[in-house]
Amino acid sequence: MRTRKIVSIIILLIIAGGFMITFSQIPFGKDKINVANYYISRGIEETGAVNIVTSVVLNYRGFDTLGEVTVLFIAAIGLGAVLFVEKRVQKHTSDNKEDKAKRASLILRTGSNLLFPLILLFGAYIFIHGHLTPGGGFQGGAVVASGFLLIYLAFPKQSINKKSSSVAESLGGLIFIGIGLLGLIFSGYFLSNFLPKGIPNTLFSAGIIPIIYIAVGFKVGFDLTGIIDDLLGRSK
């Protein structure tokens, strides 16, 4: 164990020396913008979205976003397959004392009843206005999943309906691919922007970008909720 520590510290010092040689070649804060000059100067008139990061993620590099949604989906499926229990042995504890001891406190129960619709509304606002303000599908989906986590913490016996959650998640993924294929039919390449662009800085603008972000928001939100549900081991 001692030799392992000494050898690893020597290796880490060599890697730290390599880092210092590399970082001295990259000046901090100088202007190195090369490819993105095209995206910044022609972004608004080609896509209609005011948020340039959104138009890069969904319009210019939209295929990478499809790959990322697929990776999250595979992780959720893999987790459900590894933690699979065949026969759920249900211990029917009809002990009233144990039931009363398992309930959360009154402040947590009342507070989460009041806060849960507001958190869902806030998450929906973030992923609907993804092309106007900082935000988008992934951030809004994470906020929705933390709303469901609050319900799991406050009511230890409750679980969401697994069937409707998986239907909503699959609908999100299918809408993403369906709009990409419609772009293939109308314009000749996958994920092209075929709806009218509208006036910039209004809500109904930027073509297909709000529709795809709503689908991604649903999918990421219910994916993360399903991951937490499988780890807790609760739904039947």
Partner 1 sequence: MNLIYNWMYYISSGGLILIGMYIVLVKTNLIKIIIGLHFIDTGINILLICIGYVKGRTAPIFSTSGINPTNVVDPVPQALVLTAIVIGVAVLALALSIAIKVYEHNKTLNVSKIKRLKW
Partner 2 sequence: MIFQLILIFIMIILAVAAVVFKDLINAVVACAAVSLITSILFYFLQAPDVAMAEAAIGAGLTTAIFIIAIRRTERHEKEK
Sole binder of partner 1 in the list 3, 14, 25, 29 (CB under 8 A): 29
Structural contact between residues 38 and 52, judged by C-beta atoms closer than 8 angstroms: no
Q: Which is nearer to partner 1, 78 or 156 (CB)?
A: 78
Site map 75..114 versus partner 1, x via CB under 8 A: xx-xx--xx-------------------------------
| In the complex, minimum distance from the CB of residue 99 to partner 1, in angstroms, rounded to a whole number | 27
Q: List contacts with partner 2 (CB under 8 A).
A: 1, 51, 53-54, 126, 134-136, 138-139, 142-143, 145-146, 149, 224, 227-228, 231-233
Residue 201 binds to partner 1 (criterion: CB under 8 A): yes
Among 3, 10, 14, 19, binds partner 1 (CB under 8 A): 19
Measured CA angle at 138 (ends 135, 140), to 5 deg: 60
At 127, which amino acid appears? Answer: F
Question: How many Cα atoms within 13 Å fall on the side-chain side of residue 141?
Answer: 22
Question: Which partner in partner 1, partner 2, none is near 145 (CB below 5 to 8 A by kind)?
Answer: partner 2
Angle between helices 137-154 and 209-232 (to 10 degrees): 30
- In angstroms and rounded to an integer, the radius of gyration of the C-alpha atoms of the chain is 24
Dump the DSSP string for 115-152. Answer: HHHHHHHHHHHHHHSTTTSS--HHHHHHHHHHHHHHHH
The one among 46, 72, 129, 152 contacting partner 1 by CB under 8 A: 72
Residue closer to partner 2 by CB (options 136, 180) is: 136
